[in-house]
């Protein structure tokens, strides 16, 4: 998610007031000058909690002359949760399984020793949490070649994903891609990690290298953008708990 579209590529802001109200049949909706918002699939943008609706309302209220949908992370997640997830739950669960098979937290550095020790100290508590709480026990390996993972653990990950409602499943899969780790995404979804912690745990290698060799502007810009997405994901999940 890089760059901001030029003004002609973005719709102009057409509303003044943004409010949140209960939706008919349950849930909460956002009104723009008294009119409800529709998803790209033409469904009502209906959120399960008032707190999440308020978060999205802040995104809409924060738009200036043009509506920058590319960087309205919560609205985009909501569109996916409403329009796509109900029909793609099995496929999304399989995506979580694929991340388990190549999980970042299972790939330990061969060298230097200091980095490998740091990874073990920071990542093993998350692996232990997933094993104890979700039955997802993943094997570690050195280097980039993935280790075969136990079938029972992959099934546990699949079952966990399918046990989530559409909004939390959306967050889980998004987190897998954002962090490169199903384990971090699971811990965040369950409230065992904060978004800030998950973000920094996903960047142990990069931050270790940065401390020794410095970081160029392009890498910092990419990291900043990823951190913004991580923060949005954390707010999404916190709002679902309210």
pLDDT digits (tens, 9 = 90+) for 152-175: 999 999 999 999 999 999 999 999
Which residue is associated with the tokens 């965040």? 188
Identical fold at 10-83 and 88-241? no
Has residue 6 got a pLDDT over 80?
A: no
pLDDT at 8: 55
pTM: 0.93
DSSP state for residue 12 in the 8-state scheme:
B
Confidence of residue 143 (pLDDT cuts 50, 70, 90): confident
Topology (CATH level 3) of domain 88-241: ATP12-like fold (1.10.3580)
Rounded to whole angstroms, the Cα distance separating 94 from 157 reads: 9
pLDDT at 173: 98
Q: What is the assigned CATH class of domain 10-83?
A: alpha beta
Selection from 175, 215, 221 nearest residue 198 by Cα = 175
All structural domains of the chain with their residue ranges: 10-83, 88-241
Query: What mean pLDDT do residues 206-216 have?
Result: 84
* 41-87 residue pLDDT tens: 999 999 999 999 999 999 999 999 999 999 999 999 999 999 999 99
pLDDT at 201: 98
């Amino acid at each position: 998610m890089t760059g901001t579209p030029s003004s002609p590529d973005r719709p102009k802001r057409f509303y003044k007031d943004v409010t949140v109200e209960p939706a008919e049949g349950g849930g909460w909706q956002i009104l723009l000058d008294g009119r409800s918002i529709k998803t790209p699939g033409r469904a009502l943008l209906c959120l399960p909690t008032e707190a999440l609706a308020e978060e999205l309302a802040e995104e809409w209220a924060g738009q200036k002359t043009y509506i920058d949908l590319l960087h309205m992370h919560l609205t985009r997640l909501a569109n996916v949760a409403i329009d796509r997830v109900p029909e793609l739950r099995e496929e999304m669960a399989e995506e979580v399984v694929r991340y388990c098979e190549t999980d970042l937290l299972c790939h330990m550095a061969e060298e230097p020793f200091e980095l490998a020790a740091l990874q073990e100290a920071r990542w093993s508590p998350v692996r232990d949490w997933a094993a104890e709480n979700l039955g997802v026990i993943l094997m570690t390996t050195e280097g980039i070649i993935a280790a075969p993972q136990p079938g029972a653990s992959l099934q546990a990950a699949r079952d966990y994903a399918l046990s989530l409602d559409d909004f939390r499943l959306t967050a889980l899969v998004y987190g897998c891609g954002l962090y490169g780790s199903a384990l971090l995404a699971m811990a965040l979804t369950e409230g065992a990690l904060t978004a800030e912690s998950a973000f920094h745990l996903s960047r142990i290698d990069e931050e270790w290298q940065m401390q020794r060799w410095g970081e160029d502007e392009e890498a910092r810009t990419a990291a900043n953008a990823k951190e913004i997405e991580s923060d949005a994901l954390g707010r999404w999940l916190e709002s679902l708990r309210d």
